[in-house]
Amino acid sequence: MHIHILGICGTFMGGIALLARAAGHRVTGCDANVYPPMNTQLGEQGIDLVAGYDAGQLALNPDLFVVGNAISRGNSLLEAILERNLPYVSGPQWLAENILRGRWVLGVAGTHGKTTTTSLLAWILEEAGMNPSFLVGGVPQGFGVSARLTDSPFFVIEADEYDTAFCDKRSKFVHYQPRTAILNNLEFDHADIFADLAAIETQFHHLVRTLPGNGLIVANAEEASLKRVLARGCWTPVEWFNGAEGWQAGEADASGGFAVSLAGQAQGRVERFDLAGAHNRANAVAALAAARHAGVPVAVGLQALASFSGIKRRLEVRGTVRGVTVIDDFAHHPTAIRVTLEGLRQRVGSSRILAVLEPRSNTMKLGVIKAQLPDSLAEADVVFCYANGLGWDAAETLAPLGDRARVFDDLAVLVAAVTSAAQTGDQVLVMSNGGFGGVHDRLLDALAA
């Protein structure tokens, strides 16, 4: 079958493309914005990309169009598909019907940490010899791809609460019907589709309603929102983490290693751990609990965590020039920005951190949680904010940071300012959920010059 994917360069739809290709289909796709690592992955797999959404792509004559949730009514290609009554389906529905059916699905949901926790869980199963299939919203370094299809019964998936498609406004994760589910956390986000936190809690309730009685929910005991979700109805056993009654991670030692306990009983140690921050240790114990449900002994899981090598765009070092290190991270929600900075601070000690921020997500553009930004940037010594296209005054919002924060509408001017301010030993942390105009390479080139 020939499948043509609309919005193919998004992390999720790019993963769908890789899975469809592995399942033996011919895959092509189109997108408006093409940037690494997804375009690199797709090219390496021989998947042809078309720039833009011109209706002329109907001439490719695919058997099926798979439509990503970035595609809205008014899109020229989508309108042509609808007018000619051509077959189409959403990405989550195609995945559920063609790949996930009959498999033991392990889904990772939550506002933050989904990509990291999904990657950790897939890695534990891999090291346990279970050869899992997976779909992650990033690229785990140990795998080198965001998705793969194997003959294993186990499938690990990042279970996103964002809506499915223009034609299906349920959260993506409702389609996946996992047997094992991690509920990492739950805060207000995606203000473009959810009116408030209660609306998101309802979607999580819908997810919980799909879990079987022989499944397992691994949930964060620190999240009152998740406790409200489960109080609405739960038919599946629950194991908690981040609480005295459940799984806990101890403090990190000099190599990042930490002890793990369950209900106060020691389970062993992770001898070393390359991911910084308490939030990542919590992600690790959640993955450990989920893997145990799938049959992985705790001791094997602890060893696997010690060999995990990270994820692209999660505190990923892009280069060091003249003693200045440029780091890339996907953080875009204030909570994610805060914990990312805290994790980096633990890693680099007293070295200066120069935060370069692009408030690019739909929620940030709407400004509904902008008041949280100053506190989230507390660990940064200097903040450079790219505010081009924002509908609110970033300078006014960041005013509580005083002269530590500077706002720019011109990316070239921002790059020059960061380069001028950077000193040997500095850590330049770039945070955006998009390509950010290739600012990482521009910074490295400017520093070299």
pLDDT level of residue 185 (50, 70, 90 thresholds): confident
Q: What is the CATH number of domain 316-448?
A: 3.90.190.20
Q: Report, as an integer, the average pLDDT of 359-388.
A: 86
Q: Is a pLDDT exceeding 70 seen at residue 35?
A: no
Q: Which structure tokens are listed for 426?
A: 């500095």
Task: Identify the weakest region by mean pLDDT among 357-366, 395-404, 408-417.
Answer: 357-366
pLDDT for the residue numbered 362:
73
Instruction: With CA atoms as reference, report the closest residue to 184 among 267, 286, 271, 88.
Output: 286
Q: Report, as an integer, the average pLDDT of 96-123.
A: 94
Give me the sign of the Cα torsion angle 120, 121, 127, 131.
negative
Instruction: Report the distance separating Cα 376 and Cα 179, nearest Å.
Output: 35
Residues with Cβ within 8 Å of residue 408, at least 6 apart in sequence: 384, 385, 386, 387, 388, 414, 417
In the CATH scheme, what architecture does the domain 2-92 have? 3-Layer(aba) Sandwich (3.40)
Q: Is a pLDDT exceeding 80 seen at residue 98?
A: yes
Domain boundaries, the chain: 2-92, 102-306, 316-448
Q: Report, as an integer, the average pLDDT of 55-83.
A: 96
Instruction: Report the distance separating Cα 123 and Cα 216, nearest Å.
Output: 19
CB 116 within 8 Å of CB 283? yes
The CATH class of the 102-306 domain is alpha beta
